[in-house]
Amino acid sequence: MKPLEGITILDFSQFLSAPSATLRLADLGARVIKVERPDGGDICRTLYVSNLIIENDSSLFHSINRNKYGVSIDLKNPASRDILWSLIGKADVMVVNFRPGVVEKLGLDYASVKQHCPSMIYGEITGYGKKGPWSPMPGQDLLVQSLSGLAWLNGNQNQPPTPMGLSVADLFAGQHLAQGILAALIKRASCGEGSYVHVSMLESVMDMQFEVFTTYLNDGGQSPERSAVNNANGYINAPYGIYQTLDGYLAIAMVPVPVLGKLISCDSLLGYTDSETWCTRRDEIKSLLADHLKTRTTEYWLSKLEPADVWCADVYTWDKLFKTDGFKELDMLQTVRTPGGTEFATTRCPITIDREHYKSAKAAPAIGQHNNQYIYYKENQHGTDYLF
C-alpha cells in the first residue's frame, strides 16, 4: 500500500510548478484528478520544449501529468458551479496556480473554498507571493531565476549571468508545495482542520540559496566572486571545478592543493602550502591545474585520484550515463502507455519506501477522459441533472 492511498486531490494547475507537486503526490498513492478547460485543456499541452510530440501533446505535458485522472469543466460557466462544488466537496486537497486575481474571479480562492469545505487543504503557487509590488508579475522560471540572484552564481567571472539549464524555480516550488501539503495532511489528521499552503517560486529559489545567502548576510554583505577559470561555486576555493582533459572532462571537488599536485605529478601546485592562497590565488591555481589536466585522459586522472579517495568524477553526457551499470542499478526509468496506446519512457518517482520503487504505467489523461467516472449526468424534463 502506498502512503497516500485514499487521498483525493483536485489539480486545477497548469504549466510546470504545481503540476510537479501533484505528480509527486500521485506517485505516492494519491488519486489526482486534473481539471482542465474543455477547449484546449492545460496550456502546457502545447508548450513545446522540443520537437517531440506524443499524441498531439507536448512531451513536457506528458512527463509532468502522468499518473493522473482528467476531467474537463468550464470554470467560467455558471452552469458548472454545482459540478465544481460537488467535486471539491469530495476532495481532500485542491491545488491552483492561476495568474494573480484569476482565482478570485472564478470564486475558487481559499476563503470561498473554506466556507464550503472547512477541512480542505488548499495549495497554491504564485510567482512572487500574494502581496507586494512584484505580486502581479508573471511567475516564469527564467524571470524568477534572474530576479533571485541565482543567475549570478553560474558561469565564469567574465561571462554574463547564466541561468541553470533546468526550470529549477518551477520544480523546487512544486516540491515545496508537496511538502507543505503533506504537513497539512498530518495536521488535519490530528485536529481535523484544513490549511492554506502557499509557496512562491521566488521564495523557493531563495531557499535553494540558503547556504550562500547565510554567508552573504553574515560576512559584511560581500557578494561571492565567480572564478574566472572553471567556476563551479562562488565561495569554494581552488581546485573546485570541472576541467577539460585530453579526451573529455573531469570534476574535482575539495582537496588540498599540494596533495592534488603530488597525486597528479603537477609540481607547480606543490608550493601552495598555505590554505589561504587557495582562496586568494584561486584563479591562478585553477589555471595551472587546467593546463596540466589537458595532457592526459579522464580515465588516467581517475586512476590516480580515486584510489587516493579524492572526490572526483567523470562528466557524463546522457548517452554515456544511461549505459553505465550505476545508472542501470538505480532502475530510474519506467514505461508509460497513453490512452491511445503509445508507449514512452520517462523517469519514476525518486522516493523509495520499504525498498519499493514506485512506478505507474498510467499516462497523462486526455482532456475530459474521466468525465464519465467522476461527473455523471442524466437528462430530464427540467434539463440536465448532475449526479456525483
Active site residues: 170
Query: How many angstroms separate the Cα of 22 from the Cα of each of 95, 167, 247?
Result: 8, 17, 42
Pairing state of beta strands 93-96 and 69-72?
unpaired
Q: What is the dihedral of CA 266, 271, 276, 279, to 10 degrees?
A: -30
Residue matched to cell numbers 488535519 = 188
CA 33 to centroid of chain Cα atoms: 20
Question: Which three cell numbers mark 370?
Answer: 474521466
Tell me the Ramachandran region of residue 263: left when phi exceeds 0, alpha when psi lies from -120 to 50, beta otherwise.
alpha
Tell me the Ramachandran region of residue 386: left when phi exceeds 0, alpha when psi lies from -120 to 50, beta otherwise.
beta
Give the chain's end-to-end CA distance (angstroms, integer). Answer: 27
H/E element, 188: helix 168-191
Q: What is the dihedral of CA 11, 125, 65, 206, to 10 degrees?
A: -160
322 φ/ψ angles, rounded to the nearest 5 degrees: -65, -20
335 φ/ψ angles, rounded to the nearest 5 degrees: -105, 130
Spatial separation of the C-alpha atoms in residues 84 and 293, rounded to whole Å: 63
Residue by residue, DSSP assigns 50-99 as SS-EETTEEHHHHHHHTT-EEEE--TT-GGGHHHHHHHHHT-SEEEE-PP
**Across the beta sheet with 93-96, what order do the strands follow?**
69-72, 31-36, 8-11, 93-96, 121-126, 195-200
